Amino acid sequence: MKTKLLYITILSILLIPACKQDPSSYCPGYSTNYQTLIASAINQTPYFNNEAFNTLSFASDKGDTVTFVKTKTDSSWYCEDDYSNANCPKKNANCYQIIHNTYKTIKGIGSFDVKIFLYNELGYNILQIVFNNDSYKVDYNLIGDKNTIGYRQKLLFNNRIFFDVLEIDSTFSKSNIYLNKGQGLFRMEYFFSNINWTKL
């Protein structure tokens, strides 16, 4: 009798793992969701719809000039896995479109690059500009918004007036940049090098 009871106990212990439900059987299937930029989002910035922005020139207050020409526009995706269900492996991937302009330097020394992309499902249209290897990101919807910190109704630079300007302080107060919807990035002020650049 004791041997039979011991046998039943051992068999029960061995069968317990087999009775557990496989987590994949109650987790949703893995899927990939793609979110594309709509035309109205792309058209918010002149870099992608205005031929005048195929060539960009900036002059420094030291007398230097740098000119960039757009060489290509391409599209790509960045994806983020969703781990919202702790009992499951990754639930799905959310992929967001990036539109990217690549520029070549044809005069002077410098670099320029611009992208627009959806930040996430909230729909923020982020404009990322790289000027001379310094990267700046801004929610393009905030440019011209009078309720945004950094909004300036008008500013005067090099005897030119710019309206509905957004001023952004870079990380560690390394520089200030100035943008508006008509000119895009039109002014950079570098504090440590004491050199300022203005779009021509």
Q: Rounded distance, CA 196 to CA 200, Å? A: 13
Domain-embedded: residue 89: yes
Residue 104: closest CA among 71, 56, 77, 65: 71
Query: In this structure, what token pair is assigned to residue 176?
Result: 């200030």
Domain-embedded: residue 130: yes
Q: Specify the long-range contacts of residues 3-12, CB closer than 8 Å, at least 24 apart.
A: none
Residue 132: burial class (beta carbons within 10 Å; 0-12, 13-18, 19+): middle
Domain-embedded: residue 113: yes
Please report, as a single letter, which amino acid is at residue 120: N
Q: Rounded distance, CA 134 to CA 101, Å? A: 16
> For residue range 153-177, what is the model confidence (pLDDT) as tens digits?
999 888 889 999 999 876 555 788 8
The number of domains in the chain is 1
Domain-embedded: residue 8: no
Domain-embedded: residue 122: yes
Domain-embedded: residue 54: yes
Structure-token match 């987590």, residue found: 23
Structure-token match 């790509």, residue found: 76
Domain-embedded: residue 141: yes
Domain-embedded: residue 5: no
pLDDT value for 24: 45
> For residue range 50-60, what is the model confidence (pLDDT) as tens digits?
999 999 999 99
Query: In this structure, what token pair is assigned to residue 80?
Result: 């983020």
How many CB atoms neighbour CB 113 within 10 A? 15
Single pTM value for the model: 0.74
Q: Specify the long-range contacts of residues 160-164, CB closer than 8 Å, at least 24 apart.
A: 160/198, 162/186, 162/187
Q: Rounded distance, CA 189 to CA 195, Å? A: 6
Query: How do the pLDDT tens digits run along the chain, 200 residues long?
Result: 555 554 555 545 544 444 454 544 566 666 788 888 877 777 778 898 899 999 999 999 889 999 999 999 999 988 877 766 667 666 678 888 899 999 999 999 999 999 998 766 556 788 889 988 888 888 877 888 888 888 999 998 888 899 999 998 765 557 888 998 888 999 998 887 778 999 99
Determine the 3-state secondary structure of 173 from DSSP: helix
pLDDT value for 28: 63
Q: Rounded distance, CA 158 to CA 176, Å? A: 16
Residue-range definition of the domain harbouring residue 135:
30-199
How many CB atoms neighbour CB 176 within 10 A? 16
